Amino acid sequence: MPEHHDILIVGAGLSGVGAACRLSEHLPGKSYAILEARQSIGGTWDLFRYPGVRSDSDMFTLGYPFRPWDGSRAIVDGPAIRDYIRQTAAHYGVKDKIRFGHRVVRAEWNTDEARWTVVVERTDTGETMKMTCSFLHWCSGYYRYDEGFTPHWEGTERFRGEIVHPQHWPEDLDYQGKRVVVIGSGATAVTLVPAMAGDAAHVTMLQRSPTYVVSLPGEDPFVKRIARYLPQRLVWRLARLKAIALTSFSYQLSRRRPAVLKAILRRGLERELPAGYDIDTHFKPRYDPWDQRLCVVPDGDLFDAIRRSAASVVTGNIETFTEEGIRLQSGEEIEAEVVVTATGLNVQMLGGAQLIVDGKEVFFSDTVAYKGMMFSGVPNMALSIGYTNASWTLKCDLICEYVCRLIAHMDQHGYDFCVPRRPGESDELQPLLDFSSGYVLRALDRLPKQGSHAPWRLNQNYFKDIRLFRRAPLEDQGMSFHRAVKRVTVSADELGSDETRLAAA
């Protein structure tokens, strides 16, 4: 018989480990396992190994509220985040629940039995196996992990240097004393340029169009000051509240008074860049702030590299690669020995797994999101998706708490499953992610929709979501609850271990 658990979590990254910790805290009697396709904990923060990889959110909000970040640095590097996730997993006993090398390829729901059957591929042997669960929680993000996005450019085959994508960074890449071109203008590009500038002969950030870039202190001065007088737990709470409030204020200002926020960002650039620098060409985007995510540079490291002439920014469209570098449509040629294509990621829902409900395949583009985490017509399944305008963990942790609350509610009232409903036919549907970043625009035809009002409207507001996820009634117009036609009795052989058996009992 397939091994059965009350809950299966897919993904052992930041949100997957967080979900497991929340389950242990709120539903200690439930059995669960974590299915992780890779061989290590950390997800994104274990996968990406390019120079300087770091968070673009402060650790007071990117970290878990149940295990506060205890450092004074707000913006930290990837290895520090990876270690934090691993230490959290060890501290809460989550590591023993992870099945490494288990890639989910298909999940099939049976309404009569109120059960998911999950088909798993072992990445080490290639064999497939089945597991079952009552509730399925996807914490695998929405990026494709095995392949980044790279546009087609003419002439790449005749370029004599190396072309690499940050998602697949070669450990032996030698750029010491070489001319490097980083193509892109997003978070990865602004991270790579200053990190490589110290060793390369020169680094050029080649962008098609500018992005909003803001300098923030890597070590929060507010935290340093209050840490002298207050207990650590209170320091963390105040630092977290400050970070949430500032991000929320910035976003709301961008929606209501974009010109004001543009002026504030402009003044910051004028302070950081050399006198007379052409800000309009290289750092004045065509869109309003927060139409795409703002890029954070800790301690102004990108601007420092520009001031030292270790790095430069070129704005223009690529015509072709040449033997010695890249020629732009303007006719300008940029010499390069290494080209890094920091051109973004590909969106892939559920890691590419097939989703089937009662024999019919589910296409996300046909569904409507419920509270931004469940989907119409798909029972007992949640997907952790973070904010686009704030820390990923803020939203994911609310989702984890809600899943625990939802399962406890079904247990209390004798329900076996719940199914989100679609809004009424008169409700105007919109794309789930109202964001103009390339990775979103390229995937609009594959993403779920959202409605015009709660509970189908996706909030990009943590304070509103606190009310929605923690306090709003679980039984509302968007959710229906049911009992199974056939109650399935779980045998001892189906449970994964003596520990799980005792927990289920």
pLDDT tens column, 447-476: 899 999 999 998 889 999 999 999 999 999
Does the structure show a pLDDT above 70 at 501? no
DSSP state of 470: I
Torsion 284-286-289-295 (CA) sign = negative
3-state secondary structure of 505: coil
The label of the residue with tokens 């409207």 reads 457
Determine the pLDDT at residue 436: 64
DSSP state of 395: H
- Report how far residue 249's alpha carbon sits from residue 251's, in angstroms, rounded to the nearest whole number: 5
3-state secondary structure of 466: helix
Q: How confident is the model at residue 488 (pLDDT cuts 50, 70, 90)?
A: low
3-state per-residue secondary structure call for 38-77: CCCCCCHHHHCCCCCCECCCCHHHHCECCECCCCCECCCE
The torsion defined by the Cα of 11, 439, 314 and 55, in degrees rounded to 10, comes to -30
Contacts (Cβ under 8 Å, ≥6 apart) of 457: 450, 451
Pair 171, 49: CB distance under 8 Å: yes
* DSSP line for 164-186: E-GGG--TT---TT-EEEEE--S
Determine the pLDDT at residue 220: 86
Pair 130, 119: CB distance under 8 Å: yes
Strand arrangement of the beta sheet that strand 333-335 belongs to = 318-321, 325-328, 333-335
The label of the residue with tokens 């949430």 reads 244
Question: Roughly what angle, to the nearest 10 degrees, separates helices 392-413 and 14-26?
Answer: 40
Determine the pLDDT at residue 497: 39
Could you give phi then psi for residue 227, rounded to 5 degrees?
Answer: -65, -20
Determine the pLDDT at residue 389: 87
Determine the pLDDT at residue 503: 30
* DSSP line for 246-313: HHHHHHHHHHH-HHHHHHHHHHHHHHHSPTT--HHHHS--SS-TTSSPPEEEETTHHHHHHHTTSEEE
Instruction: State the chain's mean pLDDT as an integer.
Output: 92
- Give the fold, CATH level 3, of 3-145+346-504: FAD/NAD(P)-binding domain (3.50.50)
* Average pLDDT over every residue of 473-485: 95
Determine the pLDDT at residue 493: 44
- Give the fold, CATH level 3, of 160-343: FAD/NAD(P)-binding domain (3.50.50)
For residue 455, say if its preceding peptide bond is cis, omega within 30 degrees of 0: yes
- Residue 403's H or E segment, with its range, is helix 392-413
pLDDT tens column, 353-371: 999 999 999 999 999 999 9
344 φψ region: left (φ > 0), alpha (ψ -120 to 50), beta (else): left
Q: How confident is the model at residue 344 (pLDDT cuts 50, 70, 90)?
A: confident
- The tally of CA atoms less than 13 A away on the side-chain side of residue 476 is 16
pLDDT tens column, 292-333: 889 999 999 999 999 999 999 999 999 999 999 999 999 999
| CATH 3.50.50.60 domain locations along the chain | 3-145+346-504, 160-343
